[in-house]
Amino acid sequence: MDIFLLPVANPDGYVYTHTQNRLWRKTRSQNPGSPCIGVDPNRNWNASFAGGGASGDPCSEIYHGPHANSEVEVKSVVDFIQKHGNFKGFIDLHSYSQLLMYPYGYTTKKAPDADELDKVARRAAKALASLSGTQYRVGSTSTTVYPASGSSVDWAYDNGIKYAFTFELRDTGHYGFLLPANQIIPTAEETWLGLKTIMEHVRDHLY
């Protein structure tokens, strides 16, 4: 089984968080006709694009962009996955809230594989908790947090990648996005146990 790891999905935005705005979320693309910069890359995928939980306002933190895959950060991943043609799993890691979710975000309708995905996610959350006791909530994105159209995980699932999951890492809000440095390694170590559980299931349940 090959594993492809993308450490930073929004490199320009990442640099900007270290130079200008620590909590910057969006890309750094220009929006013609607007002074506001950037698109939320996790609303820019072609999965019920411009639906609920996304905004058409370029100044919004959840601006979906002018069209699906308008952002090079998104299109590059789409092109890579489609060219490869044989992805079986897709896992997107975010922070924060301690959640492990699966499709859908753009609708509350139950995904065809929701029962299996829920079982896998609960096993992964249990494995994660076995190290330090960190508790994750499990469920579909739309029912666990909020509606969100144009997400990477929903796109992956709708394009035939059954095992599609989103992790929202530590914590539950005390530190929020500014998790102390001394929690980074413990977070990585426990998350690896959850990731490994999912990857082993994918390996053993090829389709």
Return d(Cα 130, Cα 70) in angstroms, integer: 41
Tokens of 32: 């013609």
Given the residues 61, 71, 116, 168, select the one marked as catalytic. 168
Q: Is 71 an annotated catalytic residue?
A: no
Could you read off the pLDDT of 146-196 as tens digits, one per residue?
999 999 999 999 999 999 999 999 999 999 999 999 999 999 999 999 999
Total tally of structural domains belonging to the chain: 2
Return d(Cα 166, Cα 154) in angstroms, integer: 10
| CA-based nearest residue to 91, from 202, 12, 178, 179 | 202
| CA-based nearest residue to 188, from 168, 169, 166 | 169
Write out residues in the chain with pLDDT < 50, as ranges: none
Return d(Cα 181, Cα 140) in angstroms, integer: 30
One domain, residues 153 and 193: yes
Confidence (pLDDT) at 38: 99
Say if residues 125 and 168 touch (Cβ distance below 8 Å): no
Confidence (pLDDT) at 139: 99
Residue 156 lies inside a defined structural domain of this protein = yes
Confidence (pLDDT) at 43: 99
Confidence (pLDDT) at 45: 99
Return d(Cα 57, Cα 113) in angstroms, integer: 34
Confidence (pLDDT) at 191: 99
- Does 171 sit behind a cis peptide bond, omega within 30 degrees of 0 on the bond before it? yes
- Does 14 sit behind a cis peptide bond, omega within 30 degrees of 0 on the bond before it? no
One domain, residues 74 and 146: no
Of 86, 117, 135, the residue that ends a domain is 86
Amino acid letter for position 4: F
Say if residues 43 and 21 touch (Cβ distance below 8 Å): no
Say if residues 61 and 177 touch (Cβ distance below 8 Å): no
Return d(Cα 49, Cα 142) in angstroms, integer: 15
Of 37, 64, 86, the residue that ends a domain is 86
pTM of the entire predicted model: 0.97
Q: Which domain holds residue 152?
A: 87-207
One domain, residues 92 and 47: no
